Structure 1
Amino acid sequence: MTRARSFQIVFALALGSALLTACMSHTRSESALEVDASIAAVTLGDDCAGAGEDSGPGLIGGDCDGDGCGFGCTQTGMRLRVVAAETGDPVPFEVLTVRMYTMEGALADELSSRNPRQFTEEGYVAWEQMIRATDDLAVSYDLDAPDWSSIGSGEAHRTYGMSFRIEVDVRIDGIVQTLEFEPASREAEIVT
């Protein structure tokens, strides 16, 4: 084997090995889109529609017409602010977990999220949970109601006025981050 032929084989093996290593270490493409997410507000109340149902536009007592309006219901939910950089490919957004802690740090409950909505000029509309360049979004999610009876040691009324810290795990373009908000309180249901 000639010296030139030997060099070609070694070079081909080295190049093949480098390409294989590069392919194995790069399992997904990263978007250049930078996104900042934060919790803007949390409402601690009840589950007005039930799991899997749309609670509507967030009606509370006094907002309905006709028969059957009842006392009213304050839907447990959260509002997030999501701001994207000026350039980059669209990226998916997903709420993974919502945890509610006492101010002393004990886990009080885990809540499921549903019904993602985006605030637009027309009001809240369904949101497909995609973030695009230059987005500055106000988004809202309904949450399950906390187990107020358990949190209040069998007496749900004891939870009115209690303060909690909320942690939300979100996945943005495959990267998980935790958002925090405090204090969030359950307000007493007072008809005004």
Structure 2
Amino acid sequence: MSADWLAESPGRKLALRYTKPHHIKTIAFGGRPGLQVLKSVTKADLEDRTIIIGVDLFFWDSTLPSADASIKALHELVKQTQELDIPLVLGEIPELIPERQPSLAVLNQALSKVSSIHGHCHLMLFNQLMHQILEDGHLHIRGRNYSIPDLVPDGLHLGEIAGEFLADRLLSAIAPPMLPS
């Protein structure tokens, strides 16, 4: 998440537990909707991958007035990863900028639907997690409570603590069926 801005993303943190940095490919353009990012992703970019982690790929799409093009891009990504038999992990979009995410609900519905239909596609429930943190006022990790500023120091990008926590959550979500042997 956050394309390794401020701290390594959960996907990178998890991947580094299993592989060397030069085997990890990050394709991200800060502040751009996933539909724009995916236009620059070729089939060759995907062919040698063992897993695709796009947990915040569609975050900025939620700020667009219409989700139609983003949903089309989502379906194309799911189709490509299915054809290549590559596991795909996406993330539910959290409401981080209220009143500025008009496509949030429809995108989360589309993400939920593709993950329930396609066995190779998994959805991390970030919006649900965010609501729980807001309700509790903290996230309890390894015996300690962390506030939102501890987790998201600049209000948008994950910090180290949140990155490690989500890497662990990502591992438990995809292991063992999706992890390469």
Instruction: Report the TM-score range of the alignment, normalised by the length of the smaller protein.
Output: under 0.3
TM-score by length of 1: 0.23
More helix by share: 2
TM-score by length of 2: 0.24
More strand by share: 1
